[in-house]
Chain A
């Protein structure tokens, strides 16, 4: 199973840390809130970046399933 990331839209407040750290995995909408790109699957070479984004989210809005 590939790693998958998820953003909880209720928790995200648009700090944009994930978008800055891993723009290959996260995008932002017109309000500046984060959305995962595609279905949230993380290529193996970007797994560390996904973990870094999770560890920098002030609102604990990102989860990872492996």
Chain B
């Protein structure tokens, strides 16, 4: 990553996914399943010179191998961008997702208890109330026969509300959090100086929130992080702020994408929708199948040591994308991998990652996804896409999901 000559060049469209892929190209997420299937068959570890050099494995075996290998790969940065961030291993800028062993587990243990299943289950009534309120606000448009946007006006609003309440941040700032998420996860193609300014705005906001919690401690995750100890000492402001950034950024876009993709599937597959409406006992397997097929999160690593990975000469500070959704679609591991089977009973998918960095918020994500689907189909037992696929816009970058999803509610 010493070359700076290409850093300020605007994104150019991809013409060859095997040798010049770019996940910031809008065609990437829109056509991800086809791109991964083709690469898996012809070039299971693709390489692109973009972002200073990036690898893209697409088989379950390779994704899994890298996820478990904390010697040859570091997590100190997990969002592919044009400049490798300066935060050193083993802590990184947003612990514990950016942390490596042995520090990682100590930082992770601080955050596991508030996200354990029995703590998260308590949120169910609140999430249900939130979903119903969002659906209520769509009823006027539905009554007039207008389309509704199931991504922007429903899926997007659910996780941002829950995580800002958990962190004890003003709910009136929800739209600002959505801007932060967009800046961090979709602004990967920005020139480094522009990206720096955007990220600095996020950092300054978090610092102001921490200062407010110093003056007014309360029962929320921010005060919790400021009170816990690691190795006998309170966490540094950098650690608290980094963990908050992790929770804020990782907690919003991901679940929003999973909810949106699931509703996109149901809008396009009336048979699956009718089956789910008729038989609620299918919800748990359907949720896992949506997570498998539409897993929203591609993680990333940096190469920590020069080494040969199955014939690929990986060099220190090369980026490696870890597309868990591509792993979930590998026919070597999943029978009928390309089919969505909402009653699939055996589903060893890796939507929440594999190994020590398993998504900390997976229990919350599953709760939100399950309730969001239940409440939506309860209210609207029959609906279809309100337009064509061209009217659906998809995210860019490592998190994949619909950003605009026009839905036409049909009479029961």
Contact = CB atoms under 8 A, between A and B. Distances in A.
B347 A56 contact: yes
A15 B352 contact: yes
A29 B117 CA distance: 9
A31 B354 contact: no
A14 interface: yes
Interface residues of B, number: 22
Interface in B355-412: 355-356, 358, 362-363
Contacts of A30: 112-113, 116
Interface string A19-48: 110000000111110000000000000000
Contacts of B115: 32
Chain A binding site: helix, strand, loop or mixed by DSSP?
Answer: loop
Name which of B284, B350, B355, B363 has the most chain A CB atoms within 10 A of its CB. B363
Contact of B358 (A14, A19, A20, A28): A14
B400 to A, nearest CB: 19
Contacts of B218: none
B117 A32 contact: yes
B123 to A, nearest CB: 15
Contact of A31 (B113, B348, B352): B113
A7 to B, nearest CB: 15
A25 B332 CA distance: 30
Question: Which 10 A-B pairs have CB atoms at the shortest separation, nearest pair first?
Answer: A32-B116, A13-B358, A55-B346, A31-B112, A30-B113, A58-B350, A28-B117, A16-B117, A58-B348, A32-B112
28 contacts: A13-B354, A13-B355, A14-B358, A15-B358, A16-B363, A19-B117, A20-B284, A28-B116, A28-B117, A28-B118, A30-B112, A30-B116, A31-B109, A31-B112, A31-B113, A32-B112, A32-B363, A52-B346, A55-B348, A56-B288, A56-B348, A57-B348, A58-B348, A58-B352, A58-B354, A59-B354, A59-B355, A59-B358
Given A30-B113, A59-B355, 12 more contacts: A13-B354, A13-B355, A13-B356, A14-B112, A15-B358, A29-B116, A32-B113, A32-B115, A32-B363, A52-B345, A56-B347, A59-B358
